[in-house]
Structure 1
Amino acid sequence: MWRDLAIASETSDASSPLLDDHATGDALALMEHGLRKAKEEQVISKGKPRVDPSVVSSSSREVTVQDCVDGTGWLQYKPDGKLKNDVPGSHSRADATVRLDGGTWKVSKLFFHEAGSC
């Protein structure tokens, strides 16, 4: 999911066909919202987040994971190629639910906490 989002963020494309490959429901809606906002602000992202999720709980059809997403190498840029702001990327806690959906595991819920939350 994060790789798909990073690719879509390179153009702030909320309609990227990659997004629903590994996300659905609320998680997909959250990513699309963020990409639409970036498009309105005329920013794109370069780089990618570093993730290392841990399983909090699991069953045969659902897994709850938690992560500290490292966004220090995934930054927003303006059309002129300059950084959007002087705030460096940060570490943010992410809580997610991953469900088996038609034979594919997809993130269905995603809560991304504020910068510096982990």
Structure 2
Amino acid sequence: MSIEDKARKDALTVYRGMWQDFVDAGATSDWRSPKLGQYATGTALTNMSRALYADHYNGLVTKGQPTFQPAVSSVDPPGDPRKIVVTDCADATRWLKYKADNGQLADDTPGGRHLVNAIVEKQSDGSWKVTEYGVHEVSTC
């Protein structure tokens, strides 16, 4: 396997891992979960922690499991990547917010498919982490 192929594979693994850790933390809105920093850093980590804190503050938890279809859309520089862009169409249809105190749906807004763009960068220790991500509105993919 080439260096670039390994980097692509590692970036997709890290991307999926970041979202799974976020899903796990969302079940209790644990914005302090140590798992969040396993695959994310910088803006990505800050945004996840803030979203979970907001849910905690508002008495919400997230239940269910989204699905992902990530693909590498760019590698920079080619051959020996340091930065990889991942594009995804995440389906949050079965991943919704509920009131923590009574288990009722928080609103009547259905989940759906969201375009997600993420930047995965090689860290100084050689590991890969998601440094930024953007989730677009429902029905963007």
TM-score w.r.t. structure 1 length? 0.94
Q: Give the match for residue 27 of structure 2.
A: 10
Count of aligned pairs: 118
What percent of counterpart residues are identical? Answer: 40
Shift of 1:115: 2.0
- Which residue, out of 110, 114, 124, partners 1:88? 110
Instruction: Give the helix-richer structure, 1 or 2.
Output: 2
- Give the secondary structure class of the aligned counterpart of 1:5: helix
What are the ranges of 5 or more consecutive residues in structure 2 without an aligned counterpart? Answer: 1-17
One of 117, 127, 135 as aligned partner of 1:112: 135
Match of 1:72 in 2: 93
Aligned-residue offset at 1:104: 1.7
TM-score by length of structure 2 reads 0.80
Alignment gaps of 5+ in structure 1? none
Give the RMSD, CA atoms, in angstroms: 1.0
Runs (4+) of structure 1 exceeding 4 A deviation are none
Q: Does 1:61 align with 2:61?
A: no
SS state of the match for residue 55, structure 2? helix
The residue type equivalent to 1:37 in the other structure is: A
